Amino acid sequence: MLNFVRFLRVQIVICIVFFGCLNAAPAFACTSDEITLSNGNCVPAQFSMTVGGFPSNGDDFTFYVSAKGTLYIDWGDGYTETKTLGQNNLNNRMSLTRKFYDTQDTYTIRLSGDFSAYPSKDSSYSNACISIYGGYATPEYLYGISGSLGALFPTLNDGTSKTDQPLFYQAFYNATNLKGPLPPELFNGIHGNARTRMFSGMFYGCTNLDGYIPYNLFNGINNISTTNMQDIFKNDTKLATTCPQGTTQVTTGYEDMWKPGTSGANATPRVACKPDAAACDHSYNGECPDLCSFASELKASNGTSIPLFAERVTTHTLCVKKDNTTCYIPLENGIGGTGSLNVKNGNDIYHAGQIDAQ
Delimit the domains of the chain by residue range: 2-10+15-23+278-351, 32-275
What is the pLDDT, as a whole number, of residue 289?
Answer: 62
Contacts of 170 (CB under 8 A, 6+ apart): 124, 125, 128, 131, 133, 200, 201, 202, 204
Which amino acid does the sequence have at 3? N
3-state SS assignment for residue 83: strand
CB 230 within 8 A of CB 201: yes
How far apart CA 237 and CA 241 sit, in angstroms, is 10
Q: Are 136 and 62 in contact (CB under 8 A)?
A: yes
CA–CA separation, 80 and 47 (whole Å): 15
Q: In the prediction, which pLDDT does 331 show?
A: 79
Q: Which residues of the chain have pLDDT under 70?
A: 1-28, 262-266, 277-291, 293-306, 312-314, 323-324, 336-340, 353-358
Q: What is the pLDDT of residue 266?
A: 61
What pLDDT was estimated at residue 304?
Answer: 59
Other beta carbons within 10 angstroms of residue 55's beta carbon come to 10
What count of other Cβ atoms lies within 10 Å of the Cβ of residue 276?
10
Instruction: Give tens-digit pLDDT for 26-68.
Output: 445 788 889 998 888 899 999 999 999 999 899 999 999 999 9
Q: How many CA atoms lie within 13 A of 100 on its CB side?
A: 25
The whole-number pLDDT of residue 108 equals: 95
Q: Which residues pair with 35 in a beta bridge?
A: 43
Q: What is the CA radius of gyration of the chain?
A: 22
Which is nearest to 114 in space by CA: 78, 151, 168, 88?
151
**Amino acid 197: pLDDT:** 95
Q: In 10 A of CB 91, how many CB atoms? A: 12
- d(C-alpha 108, C-alpha 143), whole Å: 10
| pLDDT single digits (tens) 138-149 | 899 999 999 999
Distances (CA, A) of 197 to 82, 122, 127, 231, 309: 29, 7, 10, 10, 34
- Are 190 and 155 in contact by the 8 Å Cβ rule? The answer is yes
The predicted structure's pLDDT at residue 357 = 36
Contact yes or no for 52/107 (Cβ under 8 A): yes
Q: β-strand 94-100 against 59-65: which pairing, if any?
A: antiparallel
Give the pLDDT confidence score for residue 287 in this predicted structure: 53
Task: Cite the DSSP H helix spans in 110-238.
Answer: 149-152, 226-229
Quote the pLDDT of residue 311: 72
